[in-house]
């Protein structure tokens, strides 16, 4: 009876709020189910030596790499105890051996991620991920597709495809599309001006692996899709859509 009372008291104590429990030795839990604590990405504690090895299931990852929240992807993350929450993959959570480990250089591993979308024209209005804007009366227009980048970004590839063939009422004789930073001298840095009005369904596309336009985390910038027309303004176009991909990673 005394043993039973002691067990009941212990259960009641453990049921009162969160408890820090340190376990040692072998624990056989093969008949049980484990559920890690859940959190949004923004709700994760700052990685530090005190929480090395802590694990959370993040419920709002933007990508499978889970470097930001705001999405609907779930991933298990582990604190490295220094500066990051790392996605646990392969059931081990350990990173592969670095081929650049010889010497004193800093080594790191990052997962490539991509941003993709379509910029489409209908009824004189451009629709793109994040908003809409009226077609410009002039012969050039920039559509913002990615914001908040900095000079630590490194590009795996960029691509644009003519998902819907560009057309006009007759005045526009040529349409070109490029990718880069805002500005007439920089909006083709990542992908040069590519002629459209050629095909539809992404059968006509351009692909490149560009160098970063700037380096250093303090240098921030956005990426725009720039449209240029010949023979008439952008607003003279009656149809057209561009699919884009921008893929890369960030150095530490």
Domain shared by 76 and 117, yes or no = no
Does 142 lie in the same domain as 80?
Answer: no
User: What φ, ψ does residue 61 adopt, rounded to 5°?
Assistant: -60, 140
Assigned domain for 169 exists: yes
User: Which tens digits make up the pLDDT trace of 45-75?
Assistant: 998 889 898 999 999 887 777 888 888 888 8
Q: What is the percentage of the chain residues whose pLDDT exceeds 70?
A: 89
CA atoms within 13 A on the CB side of 19: 10
Question: Of 89, 121, 156, which residue constitutes the final position of a domain?
Answer: 89
Do both 193 and 117 map to the same domain?
A: yes
Q: Give the residue-averaged pLDDT of 185-204.
A: 96
Please indicate, yes or no, if residue 14 is contained in any of the structural domains: no
Strand 216-230, strand 140-151: pairing: antiparallel
Report the range out of 15-19, 95-99, 139-143 with the highest average pLDDT.
139-143
3-class DSSP state of 3: helix
Give the number of other CB atoms < 10 A from CB of residue 3: 7
Question: How many domains does one find in the chain?
Answer: 2
119 lies in some domain = yes
150 found inside a domain? yes
- Token pair 């990173």 is found at 95
Same domain, residue pair 48 and 126? no
83 and 135 share one domain:
no
Whether residues 130 and 194 share a domain: the answer is yes
Asked whether residue 131 falls in the same domain as residue 246, the answer is yes
**Where in the sequence is the domain holding 76, given as residue range(s)?**
36-89
Predicted model pTM: 0.65
**Contacts for 95 with CB less than 8 Å, ≥ 6 apart:** 86, 109
- One domain for residues 154 and 229: yes
Segment 19-45, tens digit of pLDDT: 677 778 888 887 888 888 999 999 999
Does 105 reside within a domain? Answer: no
The SS3 assignment for 213 reads coil
Confidence of residue 92 (pLDDT cuts 50, 70, 90): very low
Instruction: Answer yes or no: do 81 and 139 share one domain.
Output: no
Identify whether residues 235 and 170 lie together within a single domain.
yes
Compute the distance between CA of residue 86 and CA of residue 79 in angstroms, rounded to an integer: 6
Looking at per-residue confidence, does 244 or 91 come out higher? 244
* Helices and strands: H and E segment counts in the chain: 1, 14
CA 2 to chain centre: 58
Tokens 């994040």 sit on residue = 130
Residue 45 lies in a domain: yes
* Residue 19 domain-assigned (yes or no): no
Q: What is the mean pLDDT of residues 120-146?
A: 96
The domain that contains 154 carries what CATH number?
Answer: 2.60.120
Residue 157 lies in a domain: yes
**Phi, psi at 3, each rounded to 5°:** -65, -45
Task: Say if residue 126 is in the same domain as residue 83.
Answer: no
| Assigned token pair, 70 | 């705001």
- Say whether both 188 and 223 belong to one domain: yes
């Amino acid at each position: 009876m005394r043993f039973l009372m002691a067990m009941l008291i212990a259960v009641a104590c453990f049921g009162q709020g969160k408890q820090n429990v340190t376990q040692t030795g072998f624990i056989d839990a093969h008949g049980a189910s484990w559920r890690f604590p859940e959190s949004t990405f923004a709700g994760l504690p700052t990685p530090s030596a005190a929480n090395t090895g802590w694990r959370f299931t993040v419920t709002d990852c933007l990508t499978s790499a889970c470097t930001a929240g705001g999405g609907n992807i779930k991933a298990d993350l582990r604190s490295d105890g220094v500066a990051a929450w790392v996605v646990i993959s392969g059931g081990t959570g350990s990173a592969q051996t670095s081929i650049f480990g010889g010497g004193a250089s800093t080594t790191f591993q990052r997962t490539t991620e991509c941003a993709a979308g379509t910029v489409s024209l209908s009824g004189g209005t451009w629709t793109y991920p994040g908003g809409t804007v009226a077609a410009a009366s002039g012969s050039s227009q920039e559509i913002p597709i990615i914001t908040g980048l900095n000079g630590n970004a490194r590009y795996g590839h960029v691509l644009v495809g003519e998902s819907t063939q560009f057309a006009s009422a007759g005045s526009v004789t040529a349409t070109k599309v490029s990718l880069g930073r805002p500005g007439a001298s920089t909006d083709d840095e990542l992908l040069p001006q590519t002629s459209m009005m050629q095909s539809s369904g992404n059968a006509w596309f351009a692909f490149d692996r560009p160098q970063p336009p700037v380096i250093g985390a303090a240098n921030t910038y956005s990426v725009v899709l720039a449209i240029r027309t010949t023979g008439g303004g952008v607003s003279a176009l009656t149809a057209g859509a561009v699919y884009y991909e921008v893929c890369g990673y960030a150095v530490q």
